[in-house]
Structure 1
C-alpha cells in the first residue's frame, strides 16, 4: 500500500481507553476521511492484538497502518510500515527487516538536514514538528514554519507536520510546504468522526 500524497495523518490516542474504545475511535476516524493511521502506544497492554485489529480496519478502508517505534511489531503483524525517531534505531535496519515495499517515515523535528539525510537513506516521508503547543507531546522542541518552507524546496518525498494542529491553524502549515497534517488530540480528544470531518476542507 502506498503512502498518501496529502491528507490527514491520524495518530492513536490510547491513554485511559480500552481496546474496544480505541478500535471504535479509529473506525469513526476512517469514516471521517483520514488517509493514514499510526499506532502509537506508550503503555501497551496487548499491542499485538490491537495492532492486528487496527490493520484489519485500515486495510478494509484502503488506509496504510504505520507502527510507531516498534519495527519488530510492524514486521510481526504485517503492518504497512514504521515511523522512527532519533532513538528508534537506524532507517537502514528498518528497511532491511521490513523490505523495500514498507513505508518508513522519519521524525526530523526542526532539521532540514535530517530530512535530507532520511530522504537519501530511502525514507518514504519525513515529519517536522511540533509546530504548536501539544498536550500529547508537551516537552517536544518547537519547529518553525521556515523549516517547512526550506524543506519544500529540497525534499521530494511527502512532508508531514505535527504538533497541536487544529482545523483553524493547519492551513498555514500546508501553505508553507506540508503535504499531510498529523493529529492526535485534534481527532481523538473529542468525537473522532466529527473531528476528522472538520479538517477535510483544509485539503480541498
Structure 2
C-alpha cells in the first residue's frame, strides 16, 4: 500500500483501553478522514491480536497501518510498514525483513541531516517533532519550525510533523513544509471521528474555526 502524500496521520492511544475500544476509536478516526494509522503501544496486552484486527480494519478502508518501533510485529501481522526511532534499528535491516514495498518511516527529531541520511537509506517518509507541548511525549526535545522549511528544500519524500498538533496550530507547520500531521491526543482524547474531521480543512488550505 502506498504512503499518502498529505493528510492526517493518526497514532493510536492505547493506555488503559480494551482492544475493542481501540479498534472502535481507530475506525472512527478513519471515518473522520485519517489517511494513515500508526499502532503505538508502550504497554501492550496482546499486540499481535490487536495489530491483526487493525490490519483488517485498515485494509478494508485502504489506509496504511504502520507499526511503531517493532519490525518483527509488522512482519508477523502483515502490517504495511514500520516507524523507526533512534534506537529501533536500521532502515536496511527493516527493509530486508519487510520487503521492497513496505513503508518505512524514520523519526528525525530536529535533525535535517538525519532526514537526508534516512532518505538516502531508503526511508519512505521522515518525521520531525515535537513542535508543541505533548502529553504523550512530555520530555521530548522541541523541534523548530525552520527545520521543516530546510527539510522541504532538501528532501523528495513526505515530511510528517508531530507533537501537540491541533486544528488551531497545524497550519503553520504545513505552510513551512510538512506534508502530514501526526496526532494522538488531538484525535483520540475526545470523539475521534469528529476530532479527525476537524483537521481536514488544514489540508485544503481552509481556515480552521476555533
Q: Does 1:203 align with 2:203?
A: yes
Give the 3-state SS of the residue equivalent to 2:150 in structure 1.
helix
Distance 1:55 1:141 in 2: 31
Deviation at 1:118, TM superposition (A): 0.1
Matches within 5 A, 1:1-204: 1-204=1-204
Q: Give CA-to-partner distance per residue, 1:57-100, whole Å, 9 cap, x none.
A: 10111000000000000001110000000000111110111111
Distance 2:85 2:92 in 1: 13
Distance 2:83 2:197 in 1: 25
* Structure 1 segments unaligned to the other structure (5+ residues): none
Distance 1:55 1:200 in 2: 23
Distance 1:102 1:20 in 2: 27
Distance 1:35 1:65 in 2: 10
Distance 2:49 2:65 in 1: 14
Distance 1:103 1:197 in 2: 24
* Structure 2 segments unaligned to the other structure (5+ residues): 205-210
What TM-score comes out, normalization by structure 1 length? 0.99
Deviation at 1:16, TM superposition (A): 1.1
Deviation at 1:137, TM superposition (A): 0.5
Give the count of matched residue pairs: 204
Runs of 4+ in 1 over 4 A off after TM superposition: none
Q: Give CA-to-partner distance per residue, 1:123-177, whole Å, 9 cap, x none.
A: 0000000000000100000000010000000010000000000000000000000
Distance 2:28 2:36 in 1: 13
